[in-house]
């Protein structure tokens, strides 16, 4: 058995079931090994940003890593922005990156690059396999490193000769350490804060934002008079009927400051203290008031759910006492010209039970929250690293992970163009994704930002950098050209009809919503 096959078998032993790939010559032995090993689904992406973004969406829904297969430094580099997003989302991913044979590197052939140097900024674990006999153990360690709480990117670089030379066979799954539990002192000090009755926010992230954690956090908040809030951007948030509804820290600095005004304590549960997305002239970077103390109940790598359960016990709060959101569907919008509110209304009304929402709606999505609050129960996935071009791949990966759930992509047009090839993967794999494409023909949020940073009165040249019409993108043709059925909507009635068609279809569907 060669090194490549020993690696594929090791990955399967460790529970890795999917490999999102975009291979080249140096990965051919890995590709060939995929044929010989059962248990690994292979999904081709036509650009590496699709591959890495899909691996992110997959792992958020499966709570375990997929692997990627990438071609040397340039292939990894093409996938970097979405690996950055995955790092910020604390998503487990195992990258397998092919490289030149160890003895070939010194000749500086065209594709020779500093692969480790490209990998490190987005990876918590990087290793280049020394020889074919090390590959299997390295692979097992890569999966364990990726799976360590809260989840991280691990990158294993595979020189071509380590893939084709003789190995010692596959390795067993390596143990993954359990997340450490917080000590009693932390529980006691946070309990004292909550007993004080002073205005307090509990800021939650990660696993706390699943139904169980929200119920615990919601019960503690209700009993203590604190407010439970989620971070601005979250990897996966359980929402809708039957869940504890929570707000997120808003993106606009003034709105975030208003939300936290008068707060004396912030208790972090797997979250980071809230900071502005960007610095702006005359606005603060830190979003909490000066006289507000920040306390940590549990860090992201710690057992946040255990800490919350312990805190509830300490405060004698029953975990079943949280107020749950009742089903409250918005009415379907009356016919008229389409806008972002009528789209939000229709999505809230028609969202199927157990749907997964992949949100890269950017400016067009900021009003979605109230219209979907009381929708059928669903999971909401966001970009956590601010690098646009994640939405379509993330929806693709989530659909690979959950074939029995409907995926709804809320997708801004400018962002969609970064990784538009994901539509082809959706078609090839027959994935159940309905994409609502907000065709505003602009980088609309950048127009606001131009104003926010103090650059006023933009001229034609500046505006041309912020508008993406001329020519308008024809999304129906783009989607159909990649095998995805599509329709266009310019009115509310057309949009509702298109959304119903998308939801009724079992494969990918794209709605160009012209706004
Ligand atoms: C990788 C990356 N490149 C560039 C940007 C800067 N950027 C932020 S928003 C934006 C435009 C987004 O336009 P669109 O997706 O159409 O959404 P809209 O603003 O129109 O709602 C750009 C280019 C970014 N965030 N990430």
Cβ 204 vs Cβ 229: under 8 Å: yes
State residue 450's pLDDT score: 87
Q: Which residues contact 290 (CB under 8 A, 6 or more apart)?
A: none
Q: Is 419 in the pocket of ligand 1 (CB under 6 A)?
A: no
Short-list 142, 180, 155, CA closest to 87 = 155
Q: Is 310 in the pocket of ligand 1 (CB under 6 A)?
A: no
State residue 302's pLDDT score: 98
Q: Is 364 in the pocket of ligand 1 (CB under 6 A)?
A: yes
Which atom of ligand 1 lies nearest, measured to the CA of 415?
Answer: 15
State residue 194's pLDDT score: 98
CA of 398 relative to ligand 1 center, distance in Å: 22
Q: Is 391 in the pocket of ligand 1 (CB under 6 A)?
A: no
Q: Is 374 in the pocket of ligand 1 (CB under 6 A)?
A: no
What is the C-alpha separation between 284 and 208, in angstroms, rounded? 28
Q: How far is CA 163 from CA 40, 41, 77, 292, 311, in A?
A: 17, 20, 21, 55, 50
Short-list 227, 502, 509, 232, CA closest to 359 = 232
Beta strands 153-159 and 41-44 are: unpaired
Q: Is 413 in the pocket of ligand 1 (CB under 6 A)?
A: yes
Q: Is 415 in the pocket of ligand 1 (CB under 6 A)?
A: yes
Dihedral sign, Cα of residue 135, residue 14, residue 422, residue 52: negative
Short-list 267, 246, 247, 268, CA closest to 258 = 247
CA of 408 relative to ligand 1 center, distance in Å: 20
Which atom of ligand 1 lies nearest, measured to the CA of 361?
Answer: 21
What is the C-alpha separation between 373 and 246, in angstroms, rounded? 9
**Candidate from 47, 77, 362 with most ligand 1 atoms within 8 A of CB, to mutate:** 362
- Collapsing DSSP states into helix, strand and coil, what is residue 244? coil
CA of 389 relative to ligand 1 center, distance in Å: 8
pTM assigned to the model:
0.98
**Closest C-alpha residue for ligand 1 atom 21:** 363
CA of 373 relative to ligand 1 center, distance in Å: 26
State residue 448's pLDDT score: 86
Which atom of ligand 1 lies nearest, measured to the CA of 445?
Answer: 19
**Candidate from 415, 448, 453, 464 with most ligand 1 atoms within 8 A of CB, to mutate:** 415
**Closest C-alpha residue for ligand 1 atom 14:** 414
Q: Which residues contact 313 (CB under 8 A, 6 or more apart)?
A: none
What is the C-alpha separation between 417 and 170, in angstroms, rounded? 40
Which atom of ligand 1 lies nearest, measured to the CA of 418?
Answer: 1
Beta strands 237-239 and 247-248 are: unpaired
State residue 367's pLDDT score: 83
Q: Which residues contact 361 (CB under 8 A, 6 or more apart)?
A: 368, 391, 410, 411, 412, 436, 438
What is the C-alpha separation between 300 and 95, in angstroms, rounded? 22
Q: Is 437 in the pocket of ligand 1 (CB under 6 A)?
A: no
State residue 55's pLDDT score: 99
Which atom of ligand 1 lies nearest, measured to the CA of 388?
Answer: 26
Q: Is 191 in the pocket of ligand 1 (CB under 6 A)?
A: no
Which atom of ligand 1 lies nearest, measured to the CA of 386?
Answer: 25
CA of 361 relative to ligand 1 center, distance in Å: 10
**Candidate from 443, 466, 473 with most ligand 1 atoms within 8 A of CB, to mutate:** 443
**Closest C-alpha residue for ligand 1 atom 13:** 443
Cβ 380 vs Cβ 77: under 8 Å: no
CA of 363 relative to ligand 1 center, distance in Å: 9
Neighbouring-strand partners of residue 439 = 514
φ, ψ of residue 198 in degrees (nearest 5)? -75, 155
Beta strands 378-382 and 237-239 are: antiparallel
What is the C-alpha separation between 118 and 101, in angstroms, rounded? 18
- Containing 357, the helix (H) or strand (E) segment is strand 355-360
Q: How far is CA 492 from CA 382, 479, 485, 497, in A?
A: 26, 21, 20, 9
- Containing 434, the helix (H) or strand (E) segment is strand 433-439
With tokens 């490289």, the residue in question is 99
Short-list 93, 171, 97, 169, CA closest to 137 = 171
How far apart are the two ends of the chain, measured CA to CA in Å? 57
What is the C-alpha separation between 127 and 108, in angstroms, rounded? 20
Q: Is 414 in the pocket of ligand 1 (CB under 6 A)?
A: yes
pLDDT tens-place values along the chain, 515 residues long? 999 999 999 999 999 999 999 999 989 999 999 999 999 999 999 999 999 999 999 999 999 999 999 999 999 999 999 999 999 999 999 999 999 999 999 999 999 999 999 999 999 999 999 999 999 999 999 999 999 999 999 999 999 999 999 999 999 999 999 999 999 999 999 999 999 999 999 999 999 999 999 999 999 999 999 999 999 999 999 999 999 999 999 999 999 999 999 999 999 999 999 999 999 999 999 999 999 999 999 999 999 999 999 999 999 999 889 999 999 999 999 999 999 999 999 999 999 999 999 999 999 998 899 999 999 999 999 999 999 999 999 999 999 999 999 999 999 999 999 999 999 999 999 999 999 999 999 999 998 888 888 887 889 999 999 999 999 999 999 999 999 999 999 999 999 999 999 999 999 999 999 99
- Rounded (10°) angle between helices 211-224 and 184-195: 50
Neighbouring-strand partners of residue 20 = 43, 68
Beta strands 509-514 and 485-489 are: parallel
CA of 487 relative to ligand 1 center, distance in Å: 24
State residue 195's pLDDT score: 98
State residue 158's pLDDT score: 97
The encoded tokens of residue 3 equal 């090194």
């Amino acid at each position: 058995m060669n090194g490549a096959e020993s690696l594929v078998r090791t990955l399967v032993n460790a529970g890795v079931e999917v490999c999102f790939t975009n291979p080249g010559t140096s990965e051919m032995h890995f590709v060939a090994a995929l044929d010989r090993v059962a248990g690994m689904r292979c999904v081709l992406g036509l650009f590496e940003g699709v591959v890495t973004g899909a691996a992110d969406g997959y792992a958020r829904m499966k709570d375990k890593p997929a692997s990627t297969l990438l071609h040397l430094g340039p292939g990894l580099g093409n996938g970097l922005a979405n690996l950055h997003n995955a790092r910020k989302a604390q998503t487990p991913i195992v990258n397998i990156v092919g490289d030149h044979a160890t003895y070939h590197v010194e000749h500086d052939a065209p594709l020779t690059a500093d692969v480790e140097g490209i990998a490190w900024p987005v990876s918590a674990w990087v290793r280049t396999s020394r020889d074919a006999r090390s590959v299997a153990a390295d692979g097992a360690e890569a999966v364990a490193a990726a799976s360590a709480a809260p989840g991280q990117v691990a990158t294993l670089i595979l020189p071509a000769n380590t893939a084709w030379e003789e190995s010692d066979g596959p390795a067993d799954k390596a143990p993954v350490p359990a997340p450490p539990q917080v000590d009693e002192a932390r529980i006691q000090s946070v309990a004292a804060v909550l007993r004080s009755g002073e205005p307090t926010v509990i800021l939650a992230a990660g696993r706390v934002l699943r139904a169980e954690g929200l119920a615990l956090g919601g019960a503690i908040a209700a009993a203590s008079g604190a407010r439970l809030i989620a971070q601005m951007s979250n990897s996966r948030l359980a929402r809708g009927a039957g869940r504890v509804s929570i707000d997120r820290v808003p993106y606009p600095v003034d709105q975030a400051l208003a939300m936290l005004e008068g707060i004396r304590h912030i208790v972090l549960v797997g979250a980071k203290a809230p900071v502005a997305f960007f610095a702006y002239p005359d606005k603060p970077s830190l979003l909490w008031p000066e006289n507000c103390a920040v306390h940590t109940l549990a860090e992201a790598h710690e057992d946040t759910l255990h800490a919350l359960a312990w805190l509830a016990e300490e405060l004698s709060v029953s975990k079943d006492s949280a107020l749950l959101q009742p089903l409250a569907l918005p009415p379907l919008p009356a016919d008229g010209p389409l806008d972002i509110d009528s789209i939000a209304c229709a999505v809230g009304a028609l969202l199927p039970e157990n749907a997964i929402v992949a949100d890269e709606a950017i400016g067009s999505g900021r009003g979605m929250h109230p219209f979907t609050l009381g929708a059928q129960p669903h999971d909401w996935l966001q970009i956590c690293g601010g690098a646009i071009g994640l939405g379509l791949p993330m929806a693709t990966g989530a659909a690979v992970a959950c074939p029995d759930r409907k995926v709804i992509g809320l997708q801004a047009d400018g962002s969609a163009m970064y990784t538009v090839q994901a539509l082809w993967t959706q078609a090839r794999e027959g994935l159940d994704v309905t994409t609502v494409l907000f065709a505003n023909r602009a980088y609309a949020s950048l127009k606001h930002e131009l104003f926010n940073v103090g650059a006023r009165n933009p001229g034609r040249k500046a505006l041309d950098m912020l508008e993406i019409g001329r020519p308008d993108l024809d999304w129906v043709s783009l989607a159909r050209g990649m095998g995805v059925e599509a329709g266009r909507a310019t009115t509310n009635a057309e949009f509702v009809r298109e959304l119903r068609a998308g939801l009724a279809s079992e494969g990918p569907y794209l709605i160009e919503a012209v706004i």
